Amino acid sequence: MVIENDVKNLNILVGNNDIGKSNILRALNLFFNGTTDVGKTLDFWEDFNKNIERKSGKGQYIKVVLDIDLKYEVGKYVRWTRQWNNQGLRTTDSLEVFEKDGTPSDFNRGSRAPGWLDRIVFRYVPAVKGPLYFQHLFEELHDLLDTTYSKQFKINTESLISNIQTITSDITKELSSTLSIENKISLPTDLKLFFGSLDFSLQVNGNSFNLSARGDGIKARHIPVILKFLAQKAKANKRGALDIQTIWGFEEPENNLEMSHAFEMAKTFVQYSQDVQIFLTTHSPAFYSLRNNAQKVSCWFIDRNEENSTYPTNVINDSINIDSKMGILAYITPFIEEKNIELKKEKKKQEELIQQLESLNQNSKCIIFTEDSAGELEMIKTIAESNGFNMAETTFFSYEGKDNLKNIIYACRWLIQEKFKNVEHIIFHRDRDIDGDIVKSHLLKKLPPNYSLYVTDGYDLDSVFLNKEHISHHYPEIDSLLLEQKISDSIEATKDKSIQKIKDGLFQMYVDSGKINRSHSPSKLEKEAKTLYNSEPFRYFYGKTVLGNLKGRLQHMTESRSFNVFQPSSHLEIEEFKEISQKIWSQ
């Protein structure tokens, strides 16, 4: 099997089970470390390719050949060959130097490249990352610290031994006296075993837990960070020393990870591959989708040929449908179809909106779009008139619900440019509801300068009219203090309905954001809704219900006139509306 021509910093090997992906990493581990797995030396007849016919043991060998671009000798590469016989003994270790064009060459005189090759570090991470692997990882940490910080390591070790001897002096004196043999407690000269028993202590909600006691997913997320530390510290040598190149062979990093964490780790691998060359095997779209980042990542689909031997195919420009090969399509197709249906519905809605918009007055200077239904346009018209809008030159249009806001903005981008040449400004109204602030901060960045998004201060547009001065302006016969009390009574009387509205809004917000989970039980949602309401009643009361309740309380006080607050007054001024009207009609 040969992998060539497109090896990069991050190399992804994807394929189904029992195809031979892991053997590629094990071959690299054998080449650099002399082991095929953590703590496992080569067993020739176990590791030898069983698809090759055995011929009385003669001429059978395992050979690994690597072409490595040379550091310190630009434009050259070395072909490094290592071979093991059928007793598992390495019989070949040869280096051939070539120019980039394949012309045979040699190391420059006094070259540092051979020494650099000897300092390449390969770290293998198996698919099963159990206690044995973590013991091995901490032992590697010991070797690194002992090499890189040998002086500090020795001083700190001697200090630890001295402190232990001081604490245990009573027992050593007793032993020496009783046995007439001098006794001292000492640590082993090789601290590898000691390091192999180390662990991380994790702080969770004020409690301390050892990493070994946590789930496999938490453990797995520690590994790349620890390996990155080892690679960084390996490079922290004295000035002038040979550089150290670290390579990872990482099997199935997605194992035991939730899908979201797998995608997060995949991004981490891209980041780490700037300093460490990585070869990884995977079944997960979280990792093989990284192939789209062609400058940094290569992807190889591993399969078997007709001779039942493993062979790689370089996945370039989606030349292979990996989802299909991996059997993912059967699972994602229903979601694709569902999304496709949603997109078709949105497109149809946009087309319908465009058709409706074409019938509007093309001589208008301002168009105001509201989420309220066509039967409720009276509210937004009253607000516009109260803020100085020329009603003859202003068009009002209902886009029938907040879910259509993005569609109407999209439709306007095209239609206003093409047909409504006289329009100077467009306003989109959306109730604040629960998520209005989030929507506003998101959409404002995308709106052209002559587009405005008006989000109500209260829960809905009806709440604008629960204004004591505005109501008194039209119904001066109602005592001011009594009116204030009636408004307060109506808000309190409809409190439960307002809280239910908040609860429904919270649930929908969590569903839309994809963050709904078992913690969002009805009781917890209700508790959250009550907390929000009680923190700021005038922000969260449901204006439509409150207005209906208030009308019943005041109708008999209005001298036989119908109670109607949807009438203009100077008390309904809204700063952003006022600025727009002055800009358009003050000329």
Q: What is the pLDDT of residues 511-553, one digit of tens each?
A: 877 777 766 788 888 999 999 999 999 999 999 999 999 999 9
Q: 326 φ, ψ to 5°?
A: -90, 0
Q: What share of the chain in percent tops pLDDT 90?
A: 36
Whether 506 shows a pLDDT value over 50: the answer reads: yes
Q: Phi-psi category of 388—alpha, beta or left, where left has phi over 0 and alpha has psi -120 to 50?
A: left
Nearest-angstrom CA–CA distance, 467 and 481: 13
- Which DSSP symbol is given to 420? -
Weakest mean pLDDT among 161-165, 228-232, 427-431, 447-451: 161-165
Whether 277 shows a pLDDT value over 80: the answer reads: yes
Other CB atoms closer than 10 Å to residue 434's CB: what's the count?
21
Q: What's the whole-number mean pLDDT along residues 270-295?
A: 86
Residue 524 tokens read as: 């917890």
The amino acid at 357? L
The amino acid at 402? K
Could you tell me the pLDDT band of residue 58, with boundaries at 50, 70 and 90?
A: low
pLDDT tens column, 314-351: 887 667 888 778 877 666 656 656 666 777 777 777 67
Residues with Cβ < 8 Å from 362, sequence gap 6 or more? Answer: 419, 420, 421, 422
pLDDT tens column, 475-500: 999 999 999 999 999 999 999 999 99
* CA Rg value for the chain: 37
Could you tell me the pLDDT band of residue 296, with boundaries at 50, 70 and 90?
A: confident
Do the Cβ atoms of 494 and 486 come closer than 8 Å? no
Provide the pLDDT for residue 339: 66
Average pLDDT, the chain: 82
Provide the pLDDT for residue 202: 46
CA 69 to chain centre: 34
Q: What's the whole-number mean pLDDT along residues 209-217?
A: 53
Q: Could you tell me which residue, 209 or 78, shows the higher pLDDT?
A: 78
Residue 571 tokens read as: 């008390």
Q: Could you tell me which residue, 452 or 305, shows the higher pLDDT?
A: 452
Could you tell me the pLDDT band of residue 4, with boundaries at 50, 70 and 90?
A: confident
For 433-462, the DSSP string reads: TTTHHHHHHHHHTTS-TTEEEEE-SSSSGG
Q: What's the whole-number mean pLDDT along residues 194-207?
A: 49
Provide the pLDDT for residue 151: 64
Residues with Cβ < 8 Å from 486, sequence gap 6 or more? Answer: 550, 553, 554
Provide the pLDDT for residue 535: 94
Whether 231 shows a pLDDT value over 90: the answer reads: no
Q: Rounded to a whole number, what is the distance in angstroms from the first to the last CA of the chain?
A: 79
Provide the pLDDT for residue 326: 80
Could you tell me the pLDDT band of residue 587, with boundaries at 50, 70 and 90?
A: low
Whether 194 shows a pLDDT value over 80: the answer reads: no
Provide the pLDDT for residue 209: 46
Weakest mean pLDDT among 65-69, 99-103, 108-112, 557-561: 557-561
Q: Is 54 exposed, middle or buried (0-12, 13-18, 19+ CB in 10 A)?
A: exposed
Could you tell me the pLDDT band of residue 276, with boundaries at 50, 70 and 90?
A: very high
Other CB atoms closer than 10 Å to residue 247's CB: what's the count?
18
Nearest-angstrom CA–CA distance, 229 and 212: 19
Weakest mean pLDDT among 84-93, 343-352, 385-394: 343-352
For 121-139, give one letter per residue: b (16+ CB within 10 A) or e: bbbbbbeebeeebbbbbbb
pTM: 0.53
Does domain 10-325 match CATH 3.40.50.300? yes
Other CB atoms closer than 10 Å to residue 83's CB: what's the count?
15
The amino acid at 80? W
Residues with Cβ < 8 Å from 287, sequence gap 6 or more? Answer: 12, 14, 253, 254, 262, 266, 269, 280
Provide the pLDDT for residue 244: 86
Whether 397 shows a pLDDT value over 50: the answer reads: yes
Helix or strand or coil: residue 91?
A: strand
Provide the pLDDT for residue 468: 94
- Which DSSP symbol is given to 320? S
User: Would you list the domain boundaries of the chain?
Assistant: 10-325, 340-494+541-587
Q: Where are the beta strands (DSSP E) in 305-352?
A: 310-314
Give whole-number Cα distances, 378 to 238, 262, 263, 392, 566, in Å: 78, 52, 49, 15, 7
pLDDT tens column, 118-141: 989 999 998 888 778 877 777 777
Whether 214 shows a pLDDT value over 60: the answer reads: no
Could you tell me the pLDDT band of residue 188, with boundaries at 50, 70 and 90?
A: low
For 202-233, the DSSP string reads: EEETTEEEEGGGS-HHHHHHHHHHHHHHHHHH
Do the Cβ atoms of 538 and 484 come closer than 8 Å? no
pLDDT tens column, 462-479: 999 999 999 999 999 999
Q: Phi-psi category of 312—alpha, beta or left, where left has phi over 0 and alpha has psi -120 to 50?
A: beta
